[in-house]
Structure 1
Amino acid sequence: MNYETTLTGESSAILVDDEDRTRRRRRLLIIGGVVAVALVAAAAALSMRGKDAAAPDAAPQAPVVTVLTPGQTMVARTVSSTGSLAARVDMPVGVVGEGGMVTRVLVQPGDWVRAGQVLATVERSVQSEQVNSLAAQVEVQRANAKLAQAQLERAKALVGRGFISAADIDQRTATRDQAVAQVRVAEAQLAEQRARTGRLDIRAPASGLVLTRTVEPGQIVQAGGGTLFRMAKDGEMEMQAQVAEADLATLRAGNSATVTPVGSNQHFSGRVWQVSPVVDPQTRQGIARIAVAYNDAIRPGGFASATITSGSGNAPLLPESAVQSDAKGSYVYIVNGKNQVERRDVKVGQVSDTGVAITSGITGAERIVTSAGAFLTVGQKVKPEALKAR
């Protein structure tokens, strides 16, 4: 009884083990099939991708570029230069009279003054006393002339009675005339002294702008002792533009110009009023003097750049994006008749808001690449597309 029970248990265990083995085989078969299918699919995908990747190598697609045929446009010919700012008429003001100690200084740099306005005064106590003395002398001489006239008139009244001779009348007439002349001499001496005293006032020779002041109260000054003030007549300014010899020949008085002081973003309109008749043999440059209206941004002694319009002419006008540059200079890319990229070296002229004028290198009939030139190579095949008008 016990033996049978034990045998039955062992049989059941054997059956369970067989079922587990069967299930495991099925799972392995299923997993193997799935893996095999996945490998086949991956191989097929790689094969298709390889075919697709090989197609562009066999026939690469040409990039699309935008081109422009600029033609000819009327543009201004300009000359660029640099130079110093200055007063158009720089007036030094010094001592005119005999000089002395400065008592007052009445203006500061930057002040506007009128012609004849007093800029500073010199001590004049001695000169004032001399004026008073000469004024008294004038009064003395006038009194003498008045007395001589009265004596002459009384003598003439007595001539008819025989008390005064004709010779006495002549003598008294001469005395009267001499007294009158002495009055004139005294008056002239007084006027001279007053003029000398007036010259102790340092005055503006013309209306204008005070630029510098080198005198202070208490300073001793004398005639020929140096410049006390510098003025710009009528406040007129100019730029003394340094221009290359070749460009100087193209300029004329009356050419318009634009002046830009260094450190300022302001532009000032001006006009050339004088072109230097000589050229510096060392620098091979001459000076074009450009008159500019007064502005507080224009300071004499400062530095500025100028663009002078020397004329006008026809030239191709390109957008800035079309012009490239490297160590060899400026150039553009053109598309030839075979739709291949070519490099063309050019010379750049006037640059403005409307574009870049090309003075040489192209005629304007070419197809110019307007953008993305940095990504192209010479000889590359492209697909040109005309730039659409805005």
Structure 2
Amino acid sequence: MPVTVIVARQGAVTEKVPVVGSLAAREEVQVRPLIQGRAIEHILVEVGQKVDKGQPLAMLDTTDARLLLDKNSVSILRATAAIQVEESRLDVAKVSEAEARKMLERSRALQPKGAVSQQVLDQHENAHARAVAELGLARQSLRLAEADAQLIARERDEIEVTIERSTVRAPGAGLVLRRTARVGAITSDSGDPLFVLAEDAAIEFVARVTETSFVRLAEGMHATITLPGYEGPLGGIVRLNAAELDPATRSGEVRIELDDVDGLKPGVFARGSINALARRNILLPGSAVKTASGASNVFVVKDGVVDLRQVIVGVRQDGFVEILDGLRDGEMVVLKSGGFLKAEEKVRPVIAASDRPAADHLAASFTIENVEAAR
């Protein structure tokens, strides 16, 4: 009796782990005000807008700071004038001290000769002492005036820093994900951040996988992600596999870096698969495998005689079955394991025309959940 057979051949089997999740920012950056207790005056960006490092995002009210700056400008003018006055006084004190010193030196030179009395010498010594004291006071007054000017200058620097910090800027390039800033709201360090940015506008796919899938995944594995309304699948690589499972849900987080993120928005639902493991095993059409009472069998033809052989199967997908054990490469298997055949029956094998291309070029894909179900 003629029967159609296929030659058992090994094919590439790629284990794919299904994933379901959503797009999210790789890193979220919170933008908080550096100045507290100020009203928000202007909002300069909106959600979905890309921003550069240092770009203004919002403006706080600077009315009080600018009033202080105006007062400080007046104080600087006064301090400058005070320094000029003290410098003039110092110049006068220097001249007075020099004149008093010359008179004293002259009196000291003439007094031994009797040309100057002791009384006059004493007067000149007292005058020089007063001039030296006045010179010291003038120098001290100038130092105090200069110190006042420096203090006023530092106050101005602080006011200018306050005004500069009243402009809320992006700490780095990114994409505006959320905005809680509202015109008129008072800034506080205990509230929500004014803005949340996606650092460098980097968007990736985030999914949670079961414990069974989690242990099979590793960083660097390739993935394919499908988005609703997006033309074609997106490629990606597993960037981060969580270090531990969530004990409450027995699931782990997986982050996949996408090849192309242009136009992608965080929060969008997506699904895909991760190429976990690759191996080669014998692949048979599903019609060649007969399953009954939990056991899988195939009809092997050798020397024109049928042999009913039990096999261990892996995955069943896309019409094919992975054979893990019980069959050798090159053996002939009946294509349709119907009930008309019996063990040790003599047959005339006819090799199927599509056998070799199917066996040589098949790349079977399956999911972990399907593996568990198939077994």
1:265, distance to aligned residue in structure 2 (A): 5.0
Summarize the Cα distance change of 1:281–1:222 in structure 2 as closer, same or farther, 3 Å threshold: closer
CA distance in 1, matches of 2:81, 2:340: 112
- Counterpart of 2:366? none
Bigger Rg, which one: 1
Per the TM alignment, residue 126 of structure 1 is displaced from its structure 2 partner at its CA by: 2.3
Q: Distance in 2 between matches of 1:157 and 1:332?
A: 121
Deviations along 1:18-66, one digit per CA (max 9) or x if unpaired, are: xxxxxxxxxxxxxxxxxxxxxxxxxxxxxxxxxxxxxxxxxxx65x535
SS of the residue aligned with 2:261?
coil
Q: Is residue 213 of structure 1 aligned with residue 152 of structure 2?
A: no
Of 337, 341, 354, the match for 1:380: 341
Say which SS state the counterpart of residue 9 (structure 2) adopts. Answer: coil
Distance 2:195 2:296 in 1: 54
Q: Which residue of 2 aligns with 1:104?
A: 42
Q: Distance in 2 between matches of 1:159 and 1:329?
A: 118
Equivalent residue for 1:79? 17
Partner of 2:8: 69
Deviation string, structure 1 residues 267-317 (Cα, Å, up to 9, x no partner): 222222322122112322212222235525533223322433344333335
Work out whether residues 102 and 121 of structure 1, in 8 Å CA contact, stay in contact via their aligned partners in 2. yes
**TM-score, structure 1 normalization:** 0.68
Provide the aligned length of Structure 1 versus Structure 2: 320
Within 5 Å, give how 1:339-350 maps onto structure 2: 339=306, 346-348=313-315
Name which of 67, 73, 90 aligns with 1:152: 90
8 Å Cα contact 2:299-2:306 kept in structure 1:
no
1:272 to 238, 248, 251: 238
In 1, the alpha carbon distance for the partners of 2:181 and 2:153 equals 35
Q: Counterpart in 2 of 1:255?
A: 221
The question of whether the paired residues in 2 share the 8 Å contact of 1:261 and 1:297 is answered with no
Question: How do 1:39-78 residues align onto structure 2 when only pairs under 5 Å count?
Answer: 62=2, 64-65=3-4, 67-71=6-10, 73-78=11-16
Task: Please name the residue that 2:58 is paired with.
Answer: 120
Note if contact 2:289-2:296 (Cα within 8 Å) is conserved in structure 1: yes
Give the aligned residue type for 1:346. Answer: V
Q: Quick one: distance in 1 between partners of 2:175 and 2:288?
A: 46
Q: Specify every segment of 5 or more residues in structure 1 that has no aligned partner in the other structure, as ranges.
A: 1-60
Give the Cα separation in 2 of the matches to 1:95 and 1:328. 69
Match of 1:161 in 2: 99
The 1:173–1:362 alpha-carbon spacing in structure 2 relative to 1, beyond 3 Å, is farther
2:72 is aligned, of 119, 134, 151, to 134
Compared with structure 1, are the counterparts of its residues 86 and 158 closer, same or farther at alpha carbon in structure 2 (3 Å cutoff)?
same
The alpha-carbon distance between structure 1 residues 69 and 326, as it changes in their structure 2 partners (threshold 3 A), is: closer
**Structure 2 matches for 1:235-254, cutoff 5 A?**
235-254=201-220
Whether the aligned pair in 1 keeps the contact of 2:295 and 2:310 (CA below 8 Å) is: no
Q: Is the 8 A contact 2:223 2:256 kept in 1?
A: yes
* Residues 1:277 and 1:168: Cα distance change in structure 2 (over 3 Å): same
Deviations 1:167-189 (A, max 9, x none): 32222222222222212211111
Identity %: 26
- Alpha-carbon distance in structure 1 between the residues aligned to 2:340 and 2:309: 6
1:307 to 244, 269, 273: 273
Sort the Cα spacing of 1:155 and 1:253 in 2 relative to 1 into closer, same or farther, 3 A.
farther
Letter in 1 for 2:132: A
Report the CA distance shift for 1:369/1:290 in structure 2 as closer, same or farther (over 3 A): farther
The 3 A distance-change label for structure 1 pair 143 and 202 is same
Q: Report if aligned partners of 1:82, 1:306 keep a CA contact under 8 Å in 2.
A: yes
Q: How many Å separate the matches in 1 of 2:36 and 2:294?
A: 65
Rate the CA distance shift 1:247–1:168 in 2: closer, same or farther, 3 A: same
**TM-fit CA distance, 1:122:** 2.4
CA contact (8 A) 1:330 1:348 kept: no
Per-residue CA deviation, residues 237-274 of structure 1 (Å, 9 max, x unaligned), is 22223233344334333333333235545322222232
Is 2:130 aligned against 1:173? no
CA distance in 2, matches of 1:334, 1:185: 99
Which amino acid in the other structure matches residue 133 of structure 2? Answer: A
TM-score for both structures, normalised by structure 2: 0.71
User: Cα distance 1:315–1:233, how it changes in 2: closer, same or farther (>3 A)?
Assistant: same
Distance 1:244 1:155, change over 3 A: same
User: After the TM superposition, which of the residue ranges 289-298 and 236-245 deviates more from structure 2?
Assistant: 289-298
RMSD: 3.6
**What is the SS of the residue equivalent to 2:99?**
coil
1:40 match: none
Displacement of 1:208 after TM fit? 0.6
- 1-side partners of 2:175 and 2:279: how far apart? 41
- Deviation at 1:331? 7.1
Aligned to 1:360: 324
The question of whether the paired residues in 1 share the 8 Å contact of 2:313 and 2:321 is answered with no
Q: 3-state SS of the aligned residue for 1:185?
A: helix
Unaligned 5+ segments in structure 2 are 101-127, 358-375
Q: Does 1:288 align with 2:254?
A: yes
User: Counterpart of 1:189?
Assistant: 155
Q: Which structure is richer in relative contact order (CA contacts within 8 A, separation 6 or more)?
A: 2
Is this contact kept in 1: 2:226–2:233, CA < 8 A?
A: yes
Residues in 1 aligned to 2:184 and 2:289: alpha-carbon distance in whole angstroms: 65
- Alignment CA distance shift 1:126-1:180 (3 Å): same
Report the more deviating stretch, 189-198 or 323-332. 323-332
